[in-house]
């Protein structure tokens, strides 16, 4: 019997006070999982806890900068002591800096790589040992259209998300024998604070993305819930190293033909 249930599972979703991470955590809770999340400061964590509570979700939040290995070690150790071992990890926390490459400071490039690529490495390597001890687990890395495509001003982000696709495949390769499945979700253009600057009234990017999306709309964070629950559940136990694009068809489409 194929099961999408997450009953009795503990799920850590990084950077999940709001946005895509919050929506995925909401869906996991609806499927039965215990939700644990982190964010950069207590104010954000408190706001996240309140948002979850308003949905009847008893989420536990921790302050942790996922780029700092010592903070991640401390957070995971606390989770394992206070809640239990992590069965499902979603590496969601991410940033973007939209700067023409020749104008980008190397510090900015490194910061994006640090959050979007090095942090998923750090959190995964700290969580994997308990998954091995427990006979398996699920890791989901939030990739991007930029895991496959480039565009102006997002060189650091595309490099990071392209690397995250390969990190996903490598974790799948290295730990598949321990019944750990590591897959990616590649959202299309989703209406969250991260893309708010692109969706301001009259912004040319708005109509551009609509013309590049067969679904002819921006995605919503809730569009990602079903794919995430699938990849977190036993229904995907033989899916490994795959990036599931949830993009309304962008990657399949050359773009709306001029009339």
Interaction partner, residue 66 (ligand GCO, ligand NAP, none; CB < 5-8 Å by kind): ligand NAP
SS3 call for 10: strand
The residues that bridge with 77 in the sheet, in sequence order, are: none
Please answer whether residues 152 and 110 qualify as being in contact, where contact means their C-beta atoms are separated by less than 8 angstroms: no
Q: Cβ closer to ligand NAP: 67 or 87?
A: 67
Furthest-apart CA pair in the chain: how many Å?
61
Picked from ligand GCO, ligand NAP, none, the partner binding residue 17 (CB below 5 to 8 A depending on kind) is ligand NAP
Binding mask 141-180 for ligand GCO (x = CB under 6 A): ---xxx----x--x--x-----------------------
Residue 149: CB minimum distance to ligand NAP, A: 11
Tokens of 235: 């229904």
Cβ atoms of 37 and 61 closer than 8 Å: yes
User: In angstroms, rounded to a whole number, what is the distance separating the alpha carbons of residues 130 and 48?
Assistant: 26
Q: Are 24 and 16 in contact (CB under 8 A)?
A: yes
Contact string (CB under 6 A) for ligand NAP, positions 95-114, x = contact: x-------------------
- Those residues whose C-beta lies under 8 Å from the C-beta of residue 51, and which sit 6 or more positions away, are 17, 18, 22
Binding string, residues 135-174; x marks residues near ligand NAP by CB under 6 A: -------x-x------------------------------
Q: At what angle do helices 69-82 and 119-133 cross, to 10 degrees?
A: 30
Output the smallest distance, CB 138 to ligand GCO, in A: 22
**Sheet containing 60-63: which strands, arranged edge to edge?**
60-63, 34-39, 10-14, 88-91, 137-142, 180-187, 243-246
Active site (catalytic) residues: 157
Q: Per-residue string for binding with ligand NAP, 198-227, x by CB under 6 A?
A: ------------------------------
When asked if residue 115 is in the footprint of ligand NAP (CB under 6 A), the reply is yes
Instruction: From 176-184, 187-195, 207-215, 229-237, give the range in contact with ligand NAP by CB under 6 A.
Output: 187-195
Which of ligand GCO, ligand NAP, none sits in contact with 94, Cβ below 5 to 8 A by type? ligand NAP
Residues that bind ligand GCO (rule: CB under 6 A) add up to a total of 14
CB 33 within 8 A of CB 22: no
Is the backbone of residue 11 left (phi > 0), alpha (psi -120 to 50) or beta? beta
Which parts of this chain interact with ligand NAP (CB under 6 A)? 14-15, 17-21, 38-40, 44, 65-67, 92-95, 115, 142, 144, 187, 189-190, 192-195
State the residues that interact with ligand GCO by CB under 6 A: 96, 98, 144-146, 151, 154, 157, 187-189, 194-195, 198
């Amino acid at each position: 019997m194929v099961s999408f249930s997450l009953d009795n599972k503990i799920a850590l979703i990084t950077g999940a006070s709001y946005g895509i991470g919050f929506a995925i955590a909401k869906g996991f809770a609806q499927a039965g999982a215990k939700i644990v999340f982190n964010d950069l400061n207590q104010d954000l964590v408190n706001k996240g806890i309140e948002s979850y509570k308003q949905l009847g979700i008893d989420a536990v939040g921790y302050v942790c900068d996922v780029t700092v290995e010592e903070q991640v070690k401390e957070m995971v150790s606390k989770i394992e002591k206070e809640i239990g071992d992590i069965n499902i990890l979603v590496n969601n926390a991410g940033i973007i800096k939209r700067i023409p490459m020749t104008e980008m400071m190397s510090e900015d490039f490194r910061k994006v790589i640090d959050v979007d690529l090095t942090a998923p490495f750090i959190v995964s390597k700290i969580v994997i040992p308990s998954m091995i001890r427990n006979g398996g687990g699920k890791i989901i890395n939030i990739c991007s259209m930029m895991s496959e495509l480039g565009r102006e001003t997002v060189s650091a982000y595309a490099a990071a998300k392209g690397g995250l696709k390969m990190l996903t495949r490598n974790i799948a390769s290295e730990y598949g024998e321990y019944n750990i499945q590591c897959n990616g979700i590649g959202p299309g253009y989703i209406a969250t604070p991260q893309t708010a600057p692109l969706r301001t009234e009259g912004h040319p990017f708005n109509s551009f993305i609509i013309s590049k999306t067969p679904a002819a709309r921006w995605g919503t964070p809730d569009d990602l819930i079903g794919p995430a629950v699938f990849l977190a559940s036993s229904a995907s136990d033989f899916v490994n190293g795959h990036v599931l694009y949830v993009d309304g068809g962008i990657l399949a489409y050359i773009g709306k033909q001029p009339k």
